[in-house]
Amino acid sequence: MYSLAIIDYIIVIGYLSGMIGVGVWFAKKHTDFEDFFLAGRSLTTPILITTLISTYYGIDVLFGDTQLAFTDGVVAWFGYARPTYAFFLIAALLLAKRLREKDFKSLPDILYLYYGNKARYVGALTSFIYSLPALSLYGFGMLAEVALGWEPIFGMLILGGIALVYTLTGGFWAVALTDSIQFVMMCLVIAIAFPFAMNFIGGFDSMIELLPESYFDTLGDLNIFLIIIYASTGLSILVEPTFYQRIFAAKSYKNVRNALIIGIFIWGSYDWIITILAMSAKTAVLQGLLPTDVAPDAALLTVVIAALPAGIVGLFIAGVLSTEMSTLDSYCLVAGGNVSYDIYKPAFKPDVSDKELIKITRYGVLLSWILGFGMATAFKQMLGLWVFLSSILISSTLVPILLGLYIKKFRKPLAGFISSGSGLFSTIILNIYIMAKGTFDPLEETYIVQWFGIDFLQEFVMYITVPISLIGFIIGLLIERRIEK
Amino acid sequence: MSYWEIFTWLTVIILGLGSIMVFLLFVRDIKIILKKFRED
């Protein structure tokens, strides 16, 4: 553990107090549910850029990109991060415009409009499960352990608790405003960290000399199927509930499009620098500057904390806290909205007042935080959990949402319900089967089961479940047509 | 200096300057929004 200087503590405490202050300031300023949940649909391009980038980063930074970069090199950017930008571009040019054509408030709202309440409830359930902040809370635990020397559970409770407080009190305005402050902090500290990390390992050339050649191979040592799988995780953008929330909260489609196109350059730069920083951590291990037992997912934190001087370390920790907080607050708020707007209102009280809806959303935020905390402390394999959560969302919503958005005659209630239901059901069954019957491979950090002589990884599940969802959709369509005839 | 290093410095500049510029524009917009809140 690195021992922090007083200035570092002052910076971190100042930052955390500021976040709570923002939440308290906004606490009584909401006029209605739309204002609380979508900031009155008034987000401009700069606010959208900051909130989109800071929300989307968190999980990837700590568990995906840097872990892969530490073990495999630049393929983390070329194979894992880069394809995501293509999905962002698709979202900017094609998807966002469609999503702005109606006054949607949430992802399940789309399922409701095209397929009715049954599909909406399935969508609300999967969106809620996907939005549980287990990974962010786990990230807080890890950060507290590596940087502050705390027990992980205290890190989760204290740091995650602060994000919970300002989300509960301030709603989406507080989330968007804190995201913006968090955005500039996380970007600047990563940019500042690069020269210090290079100085720590003796320059960029040390990496080229010491790391195996495969670290600079754009496809690395990874098998092509795994690269395709990693790349296709970017598909989740097309049905990401927090991403949708920001599209709905924008002033206009133009704001979303511009924010996404500008954001791609910042995303790309951020991803590349953290890839290089994780590789510098590997170099430092080979040089004996860092211990050999550095966990791959803690590599970025370890090398940067070791390389930065006092004061800047405080900024860096505040920046990493920002990365996680901006993710946690956004997901908790979406989960809260799923409980109140997508389940409570249509199922129990259609004429609910805005005041009560805000209250129920706050209960939902709290519920999601508690469940996320339970998962973060109970599960050991966070990467596996992340794959499971995203495959649930993609498998149950990708097909009905995209087909519903683009093909009018496909908007049949049974098609939407069977598609989302079969996607959800098959994902749960397959994941349970693989975890129960397969073996955990510590190298791949995933469960593997042997099928017909082929190693079937847990990450491959959605290659079965998305087609199942599509088949379910077609079956639903055929039944509907038969009934109509 | 290798192409990898040049590319990395380029991304450092994009990230550093880009985030400051976006943040300045954000401050301009948020001033107007907060003013509206105070009036309400």
Q: What percent of chain A has pLDDT over 70?
A: 93
pTM of the model: 0.85
Rounded to whole angstroms, how far apart are CA atoms B33 and A457? 48
Is the model more confident about A104 or about A322?
Answer: A104
The minimum CA-CA distance between B26 and chain A, rounded to whole Å, is 5
SS (H, E, C) chain A: CCCCCHHHHHHHHHHHHHHHHHHHHHCCCCCCHHHHHHHHHCECHHHHHHHHHHHHCCHHHHHHHHHHHHHHCCHHHHHHHHHHHHHHHHHHHHHHHHHCCCCCCCHHHHHHHHHCHHHHHHHHHHHHHHHCCHHHHHHHHHHHHHHHCCCHHHHHHHHHHHHHHHHHHHHHHHHHHHHHHHHHHHHHHHHHHHHHHHHHHCCHHHHHHHCCHHHHCCCCCCCHHHHHHHHHHHHHHHHCHHHHHHHHHECCHHHHHHHHHHHHHHHHHHHHHHHHHHHHHHHHHHHCCCCCCCCHHHHHHHHHHHHCCCCHHHHHHHHHHHHHHHHHHHHHHHHHHHHHHHHHHHHHCCCCCHHHHHHHHHHHHHHHHHHHHHHHHHCCCHHHHHHHHHHHHHHHHHHHHHHHHHCHHHCCHHHHHHHHHHHHHHHHHHHHHHHHHCEEECCCCEEEEEECCEEEEHHHHHHHHHHHHHHHHHHHHHHHHHHHC
Q: Which two tokens stand for residue A402?
A: 């995209």
The reply to whether residue B37 touches residue A194, judged by beta carbons under 8 angstroms, is: no
| Cβ-based interface (< 8 Å): residues of B facing A | 1-2, 4-5, 7-8, 11-12, 14-16, 18-20, 22-23, 25-26, 28-30, 33, 37, 40
In tens, the pLDDT along A342-380 reads: 999 999 999 989 889 989 999 999 999 999 999 888 876
User: What confidence tier does A1 reach under pLDDT thresholds 50, 70, 90?
Assistant: low
In tens, the pLDDT along A143-162 reads: 788 777 888 899 899 988 88
Over range A418-423, report the average pLDDT: 96
pLDDT number for residue A308: 84
The reply to whether residue B22 touches residue A46, judged by beta carbons under 8 angstroms, is: yes
User: What confidence tier does A194 reach under pLDDT thresholds 50, 70, 90?
Assistant: very high
pLDDT number for residue A198: 94
Report CA-CA distances (Å) from A79 to A74, A83, A141, A235, A439: 8, 7, 28, 14, 26
The minimum CA-CA distance between A90 and chain B, rounded to whole Å, is 22
* pLDDT higher than threshold 70 for residue A437: yes
User: What confidence tier does A242 reach under pLDDT thresholds 50, 70, 90?
Assistant: confident
Of A44, A187, A268, the CB nearest to B19: A187
The reply to whether residue A187 touches residue B25, judged by beta carbons under 8 angstroms, is: no
pLDDT number for residue A282: 93
User: What confidence tier does A107 reach under pLDDT thresholds 50, 70, 90?
Assistant: very high
In tens, the pLDDT along A258-279 reads: 999 999 999 899 999 999 999 9
In tens, the pLDDT along B1-40 reads: 889 999 999 999 999 999 999 999 988 988 887 777 666 6
The reply to whether residue B18 touches residue A187, judged by beta carbons under 8 angstroms, is: yes
Burial letters for A269-305: b for 16+ Cβ neighbours within 10 Å, e otherwise?
bbbbbbbbbbbbbbbbbbeebbeeebebbbbbbbbbb
Rounded to whole angstroms, how far apart are CA atoms A35 and A129? 24
pLDDT number for residue A326: 77
Of A45, A177, A273, the CB nearest to B11: A273
A with B: how many residue pairs have Cβ under 8 Å apart? 84
Over range A243-256, report the average pLDDT: 90
Report CA-CA distances (Å) from A214 to A59, A71, A194, A220, A283: 25, 10, 22, 5, 14
In tens, the pLDDT along A32-51 reads: 788 778 877 888 999 999 88
* pLDDT higher than threshold 60 for residue A62: no
* pLDDT higher than threshold 80 for residue A200: yes
Rounded to whole angstroms, how far apart are CA atoms A326 and A250? 18
Chain A residue with minimal CA distance to B17? A188
Chain B residues touching A176 at Cβ < 8 A: none
pLDDT number for residue A64: 64
CA-CA-CA-CA torsion for A152, A156, A158, A159, nearest 10 degrees? 110
Q: Which DSSP category does B14 fall into?
A: H
Chain B residue with minimal CA distance to A209? B2
The reply to whether residue A268 touches residue B11, judged by beta carbons under 8 angstroms, is: yes
For residue A380, report the phi and psi dihedrals to the nearest 5 degrees: -95, -35
pLDDT number for residue A484: 84
Is beta strand A446-451 parallel, antiparallel or unpaired with respect to A439-441? antiparallel
